Amino acid sequence: MKIVCIGGGPAGLYFALLMKQQDPRHEIAVVERNKPYDTFGWGVVFSDQTLGNLQAADAPSAAQILDAFNHWDDIEVHIRGHRIRSGGHGFCGIGRKRLLNILQARCEEVGVELVFETDVKSAAEYADADLVIASDGLNSRVRNEFADTFRPDVDVRRNRFVWLGTTRLFDAFTFDFQETPHGWFQAHAYRFDATHSTFIVETPEEVWAKAGLDRMEKEESIAFCEKLFAGVLQGHPLLSNAAHLRGSSQWIKFPRVVCEHWVHRLGGAGGTPVVLMGDAAHTAHFSIGSGTKLALEDAIELARTIGNSRGDLTAALEAYEAVRSIEVLKIQNAARNSTEWFEHVDRYVKLPPEQFAYSLLTRSQRISHENLRLRDQSYVEEYEDWIAQRSGLPGRSQVDAGVQRASCKHSIPPMLTPFTARGVTLKNRIVVSPMAQYSCTDGVPGDYHLVHLGARAMGGAGMVVAEMTCTSPDARITPGCPGLWSTAQRDAWKRIVDFVHANSEAKIAMQIGHAGAKGSTRVPWEGEDQPLAEGNWPLVSASPQQYLDGISDWSRAMTRADMDRVTADFVRATRYAAEAGFDWLELHCAHGYLLSSFISPLTNQRTDWYGGSLDNRLRYPLEVFAAIRAVWPKHLPISVRISAHDWVEGGITPDDAVEIARRFKAAGADLIDCSSGQVSKKQQPVYGRMYQTPFADRIRNEAGIATIAVGAISEADHVNSIIAAGRADLCAIARPHLANPAWTLLEAAKIGVTEVEWPKQYRSAKQQLERNLEREKQMAAQGGGLSALEQANRALGV
Ligand SMILES: Cc1cc2nc3c(=O)[nH]c(=O)nc-3n(C[C@H](O)[C@H](O)[C@H](O)COP(=O)(O)OP(=O)(O)OC[C@H]3O[C@@H](n4cnc5c(N)ncnc54)[C@H](O)[C@@H]3O)c2cc1C
Ligand SMILES: Cc1cc2nc3c(=O)[nH]c(=O)nc-3n(C[C@H](O)[C@H](O)[C@H](O)COP(=O)(O)O)c2cc1C
């Protein structure tokens, strides 16, 4: 095969050498515009895992790379005079020049032709080749040339950064954060050879401009950074080797590149394939150190698929694109979280330094609490101890000194620490999320609810939230919904509350709401959101609307008199909730129901005081909030559930949600329960694990109010990571609690925590469960990491 790689970075060189090594008959050239051994940049990092892949692909170059690597395990975070260090991260640093030199020399050794100082104008120059690789980097000319095929999407990010070097040798991957009158700057620094470290300085564009860096010459801006980071540089200079970049142009903005397709055929079907590789195909933010890894792994994969293809190049290219685009997407997702974290450092600097560092370490959401524990158990235990002490528990040191809780010798995971709002303390951070059961007659909760909520209260959660309970008969979603408009309903609720208090340590919350335009529908198992066959009641909402176009009944806009009546209903329900003995109240302002219909511009087209600006749209929900707060006991908290994102163009955005939270906070709300969607059928949510947690994170850390995270939080590890990083104060778990009322007890046992109170009647099950889990863990350790179930399945050939 005749192969040409346009661009002699890591991708082009590595692919060339792997193909030549695979079959010396291949005729391979790498065409590079720079001179030999001439490149800019400092070090790059790899994880230990990447090294394993290189070893398997080409042992001689891997050996040289390994030899040149500087290995370190620790990450150190410097913030406000604190230094927080954690270990076990396993990174290697190598100079970019050194890496390229190794690859160039190895290419020459195996017989790849290296053509330097040749700036390729068009891939069409190589139409006589069998395969052209577009490995021409971030600003790929080839990608632009065939943009119609590749369909690149380039998202230029908000921060400015400069890639510098220094002679200060860091013994850990160091993140240093410095405040200026204009905002925060951060440095990412790591050693990559015997004499130098990489030192990347980064800050949001507006901070950069306000600091005057947009007008400074290169030397001036380096002097600015030296002064700013003098503490960590310890007298060492900052160095630039980007001689071709002048003035402020050395400060770049990171472009996130995604391409819909990776293969173009010159001259149409059957023509020479031009294949994207490395940064030309995709980029991953430097803060997760994966750009070079991705480039090298692209090369490995394409060489592998061609080697296995028995001459079918088209199939090989399809397989390459399919496999690599998925792998790249995973890294890009993690990189996006990491990029956003560094773009919003100002959000996190308010956290205590210990939590700030933890938040940084887990920013990509790929490294969870348990991953961190595997890396550095003592760091995690000390941190858990710190969280426990902040939530009012004695630390391990105090425990060891015999002060209290003598049974708890190890640290307590964040999920199991208490949380206090006003006069109410939840024993842990798990909340059974409100879940409509549609199983009432005349709005009166019965035995079904006693068993349903009672079982979940006994299942270990800190609090159980009753389903949306409606403030009047015409406030119901379905005829099966519970209510709180009569004393009969109040007393029926009291029976449940009393049971929970008598038989568990859980608190119980009441969620009150009004269905608005989403009311008067059938129970879901008879047709979700479908209007009743008969007996429909009139609907009100902020503006006239039909939730399901052409199907739902039309609602009419509320008049002032309607508003007064509904506010009075909310107040009555609140009084009854207090009389029933509930510990906590939640106001339902989410999911397109009545109060939510005022907040979202998608459902509020009013032209009076209650429509238009966000201020106006919040006016009625805040009136209701003020009215219920006035009658709800002062020592008990109120949370407000909102849809923090409508997932529809023109609807509520997370930016709005922060503002909404600020207003409810000012009105006296204690927590914001951060749900999303269900406001419009046009919604396009992006689901994934913990997908709504970023809203809880933003609201907590920007609006400064406690939050409840909810949505696809399904294991203790998720909860521990969320609470420990300060992304939320509580985690509401819904569907997993339908599958298992004792979700908290099981999850605690799974992570090996035995100091959890079970209902006394169930204690024998606790011991058995813990024994079985321990045995399973031991068998997994003996069976090469397979669980007992997996081993059994293997044995059965399943
Ligand atoms: C500040 C910063 C820090 C980074 N840190 C890391 C890190 O720690 N770890 C990591 O893995 N990655 C890191 N990266 C990313 C990494 O540098 C790239 O992802 C990696 O180099 C991609 O390899 P590549 O071969 O695809 O592209 P490149 O390395 O960009 O190589 C492309 C080559 O093509 C040549 N070229 C371009 N156009 C033409 C043309 N028309 N004709 C001929 N030649 C051409 C260029 O001169 C260049 O040599 C960092 C990037 C930046 C900006
Ligand atoms: C059957 C069911 C009923 C629900 N009813 C309510 C409700 O009454 N009030 C409410 O705010 N959310 C309700 N939700 C939403 C959940 O509280 C929760 O936000 C959502 O299910 C996401 O959490 P999960 O991924 O843990 O299930 C309901 C969800 C389910 C599955």
Region for 583 from its dihedrals, namely left if φ exceeds 0, alpha if ψ lies in -120 to 50, beta otherwise: alpha
CA gyration radius, the chain:
30
Residue nearest to atom 21 of ligand 2 (CA): 734
H helix or E strand, kind and range, residue 339: helix 313-343
Q: Is the CB of 133 under 6 A from ligand 1?
A: no
pTM given for the model: 0.91
Sign of CA dihedral 30, 32, 36, 37: negative
Distance 578 CA to ligand 2 centre (A): 23
Q: How far apart are CA 428 and CA 430, in angstroms?
A: 6
Q: Is the CB of 287 under 6 A from ligand 1?
A: no
At 103, list the tokens: 């690859």
Q: Is the CB of 710 under 6 A from ligand 2?
A: yes
H helix or E strand, kind and range, residue 179: strand 173-180
Q: Is the CB of 141 under 6 A from ligand 1?
A: yes
Q: Which atom of ligand 1 is nearest to the CA of 142?
A: 41
- pLDDT value of position 248: 72
Q: How far apart are CA 198 and CA 242, in angstroms?
A: 13
Q: Is the CB of 437 under 6 A from ligand 2?
A: no
Per-residue CA distances from 414 to 399, 424, 459, 584, 674 (Å): 17, 18, 18, 22, 20
Residues 6+ apart with CB under 8 A from 425: 392, 418, 419
Phi and psi dihedrals of 116, rounded to 5? -105, 170
Q: How far apart are CA 618 and CA 610, in angstroms?
A: 7
Q: Is the CB of 40 under 6 A from ligand 1?
A: no
Q: Which residue in the block uniquely carries the two structure tokens 């990559």?
A: 192
Residue nearest to atom 6 of ligand 2 (CA): 435
Per-residue CA distances from 375 to 88, 379, 528 (Å): 4, 9, 47
Q: Is the CB of 712 under 6 A from ligand 2?
A: yes
Q: Supply the DSSP string of 697-743, one letter for each residue.
A: HHIIIII--EEEEESS--SHHHHHHHHHTTS-SEEEE-HHHHH-TTH
Per-residue CA distances from 45 to 90, 103, 542 (Å): 10, 16, 55
- Render pLDDT for 338-364 as a digit per residue (tens, 0 to 9): 999 999 999 999 999 999 999 999 998
Q: How far apart are CA 476 and CA 478, in angstroms?
A: 5
Residues 620/627, Cβ–Cβ less than 8 Å: no
Distance 434 CA to ligand 2 centre (A): 6
Q: Which atom of ligand 1 is nearest to the CA of 11?
A: 25
Q: How far apart are CA 189 and CA 232, in angstroms?
A: 10
Residue nearest to atom 29 of ligand 2 (CA): 435
SS3 259: strand
Q: In one letter, which amino acid is 658?
A: V
Distance 692 CA to ligand 1 centre (A): 34
Which of 420, 416, 359, 361 lies closest to 722 in space, CA to CA?
359
Q: Is the CB of 734 under 6 A from ligand 2?
A: yes
- pLDDT value of position 690: 93
Q: In one letter, which amino acid is 768?
A: Q
Which of 432, 580, 581 lies closest to 492 in space, CA to CA?
580
Is residue 397 packed enough to be buried (19+ CB in 10 Å), middle (13-18) or exposed (0-12)? exposed
- pLDDT value of position 397: 58
Below-50 pLDDT ranges, the chain = 400-407, 788-789, 791-798
At 307, list the tokens: 């080697």
Nearest bound ligand to the CA of residue 139: 1
Residues 6+ apart with CB under 8 A from 565: none
Q: Is the CB of 467 under 6 A from ligand 2?
A: yes
Q: Print the SS3 string covering 262-301.
A: CEEECCCCCCCEEEECHHHCCCCCHHHCCHHHHHHHHHHH
Distance 433 CA to ligand 2 centre (A): 6
Residues 131/3, Cβ–Cβ less than 8 Å: yes
Residues 685/676, Cβ–Cβ less than 8 Å: yes
State the virtual CA torsion across 375, 376, 382, 385 in degrees, nearest 10.
30
Catalytic entry in 190, 358, 593, 620? 593
Is residue 501 packed enough to be buried (19+ CB in 10 Å), middle (13-18) or exposed (0-12)? middle
- pLDDT value of position 783: 67
Distance 138 CA to ligand 1 centre (A): 7
Active site residue 593: yes
| Site to substitute for ligand 1 among 44, 98, 144, 197, most atoms within 8 A of C-beta | 44
| Site to substitute for ligand 2 among 430, 432, 433, 690, most atoms within 8 A of C-beta | 433
Q: Is the CB of 135 under 6 A from ligand 1?
A: yes
H helix or E strand, kind and range, residue 132: strand 131-134
Distance 295 CA to ligand 1 centre (A): 9
Q: Is the CB of 38 under 6 A from ligand 1?
A: no
Q: How far apart are CA 596 and CA 602, in angstroms?
A: 10
Q: In one letter, which amino acid is 217?
A: E
Q: Which atom of ligand 2 is nearest to the CA of 714?
A: 26
Q: How far apart are CA 700 and CA 333, in angstroms?
A: 23
At 426, list the tokens: 């939840």
Q: How far apart are CA 546 and CA 556, in angstroms?
A: 10
| Site to substitute for ligand 1 among 160, 238, 279, most atoms within 8 A of C-beta | 279
Residues 6+ apart with CB under 8 A from 372: 86, 361, 362, 379, 380
Residues 617/648, Cβ–Cβ less than 8 Å: no
Distance 152 CA to ligand 1 centre (A): 17
SS3 46: strand
Which of 693, 708, 685, 534 lies closest to 637 in space, CA to CA?
708
Distance 708 CA to ligand 2 centre (A): 13
Residue nearest to atom 1 of ligand 2 (CA): 435
Residues 67/105, Cβ–Cβ less than 8 Å: no
Residue nearest to atom 26 of ligand 2 (CA): 734
What single DSSP character describes residue 483? B
Residues 727/390, Cβ–Cβ less than 8 Å: no
Residues 644/695, Cβ–Cβ less than 8 Å: yes
Residues 488/445, Cβ–Cβ less than 8 Å: no
Nearest bound ligand to the CA of residue 126: 1
Distance 432 CA to ligand 2 centre (A): 9
Residues 37/103, Cβ–Cβ less than 8 Å: no
At 617, list the tokens: 């749209």
Q: Is the CB of 71 under 6 A from ligand 2?
A: no
Q: How many CB atoms lie within 10 A of CB 716?
A: 26
